[in-house]
Structure 1
Amino acid sequence: MSKIYLNNEYINIANVNIYCEYKLNNKPPLLLLHGFVSSTYTFNKLIPLLSEHFSIIAIDLPGFGKSEKSKSFVYSFESYASLVVECMKHFEINKVSIVGHSMGGQIALYIAKSNPELIDTLILLCSSGYRARAKKILIYCSYLPLFTYIAKKWIQQKDIQKTLETVFYNKSHIHEELIKEFSRPLQEKAFYCSLVRLLRHREGDLHSFDLRKIHIPTLLLWGENDRVVPVHVGEKLKDDLPNAKLVTYKETGHLITEERVKEVFKEITAYLKT
């Protein structure tokens, strides 16, 4: 398959410079949301396949990837959800299907809760779910002068390859470019400030009683060997979301867009055409 070239630009939303990649081609729009400590690179193998059938918009969420590591943005799911809605307005899109991986899936659910009229379909890939807010003592400690410095040292001492091994079942999928992309933000001082603000501001994931009110058609795709968000989370989401379908893959970890890209593509296109 020939390489697909997307437009890319920075747009200012909520006083934050947001990096986005897009291809608008008068086809049904898909909006792609990456997960925690990730970026649009999450979808680098999936976008060329999807862009043959859909308009594509992928953004780096504030604090991640190439987007601004703002010191004023409130890093809550509600703020992220509102920002995504504003991105839709920027691109003059009235309704969209959202593909959310990991934390991006939880943000998609927050949008579905607050603005269901804007979403056609949810595609949740190993979505985070049922996580509580950080403990109060940790939130309080985050205001201590040295907390960000300590967090930076703790993260930087971790081996990036060993960290990536936790998101894969098949370790052979880990390659130099992947390591480089996931290492990039670790060199930015402001990145650690963003992580601390996310710790402070992030609400808990939506409760079951909220999820049961979301009637949007939802496709859940999961790796059965996911060690980050175990498959039982997907099974519970399937039970709580009134209009959900769960598909799982054997011998597959958390980064399903790398390990099962062709299968994920086929499931998404088949589901959106039904």
Structure 2
Amino acid sequence: MIWIKRIGKLLAGLLLTVVFFLLLLYRRDIPAEEINAKYQTPQSHFIEVDGVNVHVRFLGEGEPIFLLHGSFSSLHTWDVWQQELSPYYLTISLDFPGHGLTGPDELKRYSVKDYSELILALAEKLNLRKFHLAGNSMGGAVALQVASTRPDQVLTLNLIDSSGAPRMEARSLDSTQTSSRGGGAWVFKLIENPIISTVFLKCTPKFLFAMNIKEVYGDESKIQSETTDRYFELMLREGNRRATLDRLSMPRKSSVDFKRLTMPTLILWGGKDSWIPVSQAYALEKAIPGSNLIIFDDAGHVPMEEIPTESVAEYLSFLGVEVRKKYLDPNKQMVYAD
């Protein structure tokens, strides 16, 4: 009987410890009005597309470029790229449903196909018959789907550490789909656990986001505290945590016909990407005839954040815009645009 009491006390102590720990991790949803006030910019607009109020940011003028972010991210990942591209192009970044300031979709349309249909609907609403596409990670998979569905509308395609590469030999369909979401992204697998996911809805530890960002950067010293805060707080936007769980639990619907991707294509990749390995870059290069592949040896999964000016310079060159090699200098000047 004594040992039963001791075990009971031990279990009660463990339970109290767990409850106390969860209380420390508890994070309330941040109301839309509050998060909007902090993170929207003068270039922000909210455009209704198929029943979803999509947060869109416009900068510049000229031929349009859609900039498509990855999973867990937001349009802010393109901050520097938008600034550098805007002297020559109309840049259009957006928060996909379930991300950033857009928030959840009542109909739970979170698949790659759903997002690609949203891009095409937004282009139609903006009366854009042709446009360039640039996408990172999940956003790259969306760009692939859009380009495959409407190649006549896509002027060029830019894939940055993109998911959605074709199935490689000796891989099962399931393993390919897993790598499409990020082979090294343990956080995906973690929150797919039903117990963890239930806790995640209310108790979201910030240190997991810090660890996550360290994974996607090749050089940890380049991570700014503001970046970690932004990723964390945008996830806490009301409805985004639930939307994330819904998105990760649904089938991965996409159907890319790589033979239809005949537009000029640039593939940019971080050599230290631990989420989607460089082997996927070579698979995409092989699948898209005539594509150009550039690997940044010291960058991770998000070169447009980690090495924004170096990566955007390659994209500008691909688009026909020449820049000075050292245009990181304070007195930088763009030379010309074709």
TM-score by length of structure 2 reads 0.71
* CA displacement 1:34-73 (0-9 Å, x = unmatched): 0000001111111111111111111100000100212313
Which residue pairs with 1:160 in the alignment? 209
Say whether the 8 Å CA contact 1:9–1:21 is kept in structure 2.
yes
Are residues 57 and 6 of structure 1, via their aligned partners in 2, closer, same or farther at CA, if it must alter by over 3 Å? farther
Which residue pairs with 1:9 in the alignment? 45
Say whether the 8 Å CA contact 1:148–1:196 is kept in structure 2.
yes
Say whether the 8 Å CA contact 1:173–1:258 is kept in structure 2.
no
Counterpart Cα distance in 1 of 2:246 and 2:212:
22
Deviation at 1:101, TM superposition (A): 0.7
SS class of match (2:143)? helix
Which residue pairs with 2:153 in the alignment? 118
Counterpart Cα distance in 1 of 2:119 and 2:42:
19
Are residues 244 and 155 of structure 1, via their aligned partners in 2, closer, same or farther at CA, if it must alter by over 3 Å? farther
- 1:32 aligned onto 2:73: no
Deviation at 1:205, TM superposition (A): 5.5
- 1:200 aligned onto 2:235: no
Figure out how many residues of one structure are paired with residues of the other and give that number.
262
- 1:185 aligned onto 2:234: yes
Are residues 204 and 88 of structure 1, via their aligned partners in 2, closer, same or farther at CA, if it must alter by over 3 Å? closer
User: What letter corresponds to residue 170 of structure 1 in structure 2?
Assistant: D
Which residue pairs with 2:222 in the alignment? 173
Counterpart Cα distance in 2 of 1:238 and 1:186:
33
* CA displacement 1:157-201 (0-9 Å, x = unmatched): 753222110011111111121011111133235112211221233
Aligned-residue Cα RMSD (Å) equals 2.7
Which residue pairs with 1:217 in the alignment? 264
**What percentage of residue pairs aligned between the two structures are identical?**
25
Are residues 157 and 273 of structure 1, via their aligned partners in 2, closer, same or farther at CA, if it must alter by over 3 Å? closer
Which residue pairs with 2:143 in the alignment? 108
Q: Rg bigger for which structure? A: 2
SS class of match (1:46)? helix
Structure 2: which 5+ residue stretches go unaligned?
A: 1-40, 166-175, 180-191, 322-338
Which residue pairs with 1:92 in the alignment? 127
* CA displacement 1:113-171 (0-9 Å, x = unmatched): 1111110000111101344279xxxxxxx8x8x77524436853753222110011111
User: What letter corresponds to residue 270 of structure 2 in structure 1?
Assistant: G
Deviation at 1:6, TM superposition (A): 5.7
Counterpart Cα distance in 1 of 2:104 and 2:242:
8
Structure 2 matches for 1:47-58, cutoff 5 A?
47-58=82-93
Deviation at 1:261, TM superposition (A): 1.4
Are residues 243 and 204 of structure 1, via their aligned partners in 2, closer, same or farther at CA, if it must alter by over 3 Å? farther
